[in-house]
Amino acid sequence: MDMFSLNGKIALVTGASYGIGFAIAKALHKAGATIVFNDINQDLVDKGIKSYEEEGIKAFGYVCDVTDENAVTSLIAKIEEEVGIVDILVNNAGIIKRIPMIEMSAEDFRKVIDVDLNAPFIMAKAVIPSMIKKGHGKIINICSMMSELGRETVSAYAAAKGGLKMLTKNIASEYGEYNIQCNGIGPGYIATPQTAPLRERGEDGSRHPFDSFILSKTPAGRWGEADDLGGPAVFLASDASNFVNGHILYVDGGILAYIGKQP
């Protein structure tokens, strides 16, 4: 089982003060990795460090807006100086804006593309040179059901996550010869702050219509938990996946395989 060990490896998980990023970082640490994370402001980073400490994890936290290329270049230089070369990058930071497309401003569209697609490009560009020098690297991009499917109000997010799927395949194609594997994880519907609005209960305790919809579309009959993504992340971060490249691993309880429970 040593092939799943991350002992001696440094993992950088973006936007990992809480949510999916935090859960993935916990799992990578359990497999032996040193955890480095960033978030968009010091308050979140401080809260994140405390949350990791409560899990018995000494994590290295940095403030960095992943859309700011200069800030990212400085971040990677600082991490390399203070912690070491990044062996595993998890591009997790992301936002969503649920607005009907024809009502969405171009500015809002661009903001989602910036965080969910441009930033993974910026982050990968920043870590790949040192991975090449080191002779190995793992990049895991957090994609989505919306890398494959569309739905009302998420046009920018789907465009970004569809693009992120192809960026994943292109990084795999361009840098595979340097023993760098770039893969994606496509979570289904996961119970995090990002999807909280879709799970809000009515005053009478009734389920949000979208909540009921997702339960009918998921063979597992439940929303995913962020911890459901930990094992797949360890696999893609470890030597166990050294010949897996350009693959999007959907961790969705079966949504993409299922037509949906008949009414």
The residues annotated with a catalytic role in the active site are 157
Q: How far apart are CA 160 and CA 163, in angstroms?
A: 5
Contacts with ligand GCO in 206-225 (CB under 6 A)?
Answer: none
Give me the least distance between CB of 136 and ligand GCO, in Å please. Answer: 29
- Which range binds ligand GCO by CB under 6 A, 18-26, 66-74, 120-128, 138-146? 138-146
- Least separation in angstroms between CB 66 and ligand GCO: 17
What is the closest distance, in whole angstroms, from the C-beta atom of residue 68 to ligand GCO in the complex?
Answer: 24
Restricting to residues 93-122, name those near ligand NAP by CB under 6 A: 93-95, 115
Among ligand NAP, ligand GCO, none, the one that 120 touches (CB under a kind-dependent 5 to 8 A) is: none
Beta bridge partners, 183, equal 140
Site size toward ligand NAP (CB under 6 A) is: 28
Q: Is 35 in the site for ligand GCO (CB under 6 A)?
A: no
- Please report whether residue 218 would count as binding ligand NAP according to CB under 6 A: no
Residue with tokens 């497309």: 101
Checking 124-130 for CB contacts under 8 A at 24+ apart, the result is 124/89, 124/91, 124/167, 124/171, 124/182, 126/72, 126/73, 126/75, 126/76, 127/12, 127/76, 127/86, 127/89, 128/171, 128/175, 128/178, 128/180, 130/76, 130/80, 130/85, 130/86
Residue choice 73, 105, 173, 194 for contact with ligand GCO (CB under 6 A): 194
Q: Ramachandran region of residue 119, left (φ > 0), alpha (ψ -120 to 50) or beta?
A: alpha
Residue with token string 């400085």: 74
Residue 187 engages ligand GCO in binding (rule: CB under 6 A): yes
Residues in contact with ligand NAP by the rule CB under 6 A: 14-15, 17-21, 38-40, 44, 65-67, 92-95, 115, 142, 144, 187, 189-190, 192-195
